[in-house]
Structure 1
Amino acid sequence: MTDAHNIRLELVRLTQQLIVDGNKVVQAFATRHGLHPTDVEALALVRVAQDRGKPLTAGALATDLGLTSGAITALVDRLERTGHISRVRDNADRRKVFLHYSIAGLALADEFFVPLLERSVGSLDEFTDEELAIAHRFLTVTGVAMTTHRGSLVGHSSSPTTPN
């Protein structure tokens, strides 16, 4: 095997380890707050969508999580009951209901995840702008590969999206 091939394999292994470690962080947060890991994944998706100014509906969240309408209703009800999120009707189309983090939910998530964000961002200080651009490209194409593979496992073609 060539050095380039070995480096590629090692990058894949490191990415896999990062996913495992990320899942452990999610599990720790879930355990600490009496949540299921799927609840935490839902909260992350709601937060990202809200931060991008494109809040999710329960239907879109169900699609992202691969849940049935009954399961997503139970999940959203549970997260709303525990004060993590709220349902907000769209002003333009009152039939649409978007999911938003509550103030208490944001504070709880920030208490747990902001230190991780700060550590992660701080660790990037040792890289040049060019190296960060390459890392960004690597993570983007690896994310597309992951999304595409997930689509093949659940029996449909996922349309990978490129993060903003």
Structure 2
Amino acid sequence: MGTTDTSRYPHDELVGLVQMLVAEGQRIAHVFAQRHGIHGTDVEALVRILVADQRGAPLTAGRLATELGLTTGSVTTLLDRLERAGHVRRERDATDRRRVNLRYGEPGRELAASFFTPLGAHHRSATESFTPAELDVVQRYLTATIDAFRAYRTELSDQPIE
């Protein structure tokens, strides 16, 4: 009976691919930040604000601070900077006037669209041969991967710094 090479499993290959996806995304975000004179953390904040808004669950400054691992004071400074540039706006919640939701500003949305629309076209072209069932599996995989990354990030933030 022959031996089976167990040094590389499909999970290991997937982890490597996810690491490359993250690295490529970070590089694109870095280029965007450089071209538009903003900080890398600002780009991460903009992505989180946009995605939350698209999902119908807009972020608050406090939630953004938690997601970015920053203090509320640092996030206030970040949001002030993004608001002055027209990238975001603060909007009172219609049902709870004490809550302030973060929304993409129209100038920021136009800027992001001009930069990231070509990426969307590349992505659609790369995935157009996938069936809806295959895309469902990819979506499940990516959701599980994001959940795993968040869990690990939480573990790291709970550990003392050495």
1:36 has 2:39 as partner? yes
Partner of 2:141: 138
1:152 has 2:158 as partner? no
For the residue of structure 2 that corresponds to 1:91, the secondary structure is: coil
> 1:27 and 1:105 mapped to 2: Cα distance?
16
For the residue of structure 2 that corresponds to 1:98, the secondary structure is: strand
For the residue of structure 2 that corresponds to 1:154, the secondary structure is: helix
Relative distance call for 1:92 and 1:139 in structure 2 (3 A) is closer
> 2:22 and 2:79 mapped to 1: Cα distance?
25
Poorly superposed stretches of 4+, deviation over 4 Å:
none
RMSD: 1.7
Relative distance call for 1:92 and 1:6 in structure 2 (3 A) is closer
Q: Which runs of 5+ in 2 are unaligned?
A: none
Q: Deviation per CA, 1:102-121: give whole Å up to 9, x if none.
A: 11111001111111112112
CA shift, 1:4, in A, is: 9.0
Partner of 2:91: 88
Partner of 1:160: none
Partner of 1:27: 30
1:78 has 2:85 as partner? no
> 1:101 and 1:23 mapped to 2: Cα distance?
20
Relative distance call for 1:18 and 1:2 in structure 2 (3 A) is same
Partner of 1:159: none
Q: Which runs of 5+ in 1 are unaligned?
A: 157-164
Q: Deviation per CA, 1:63-117: give whole Å up to 9, x if none.
A: 1111101101100000011111111112322222111111111100111111111
For the residue of structure 2 that corresponds to 1:151, the secondary structure is: helix
CA shift, 1:5, in A, is: 4.0
Provide the TM-score with structure 2 as the length reference: 0.88
Aligned length: 156
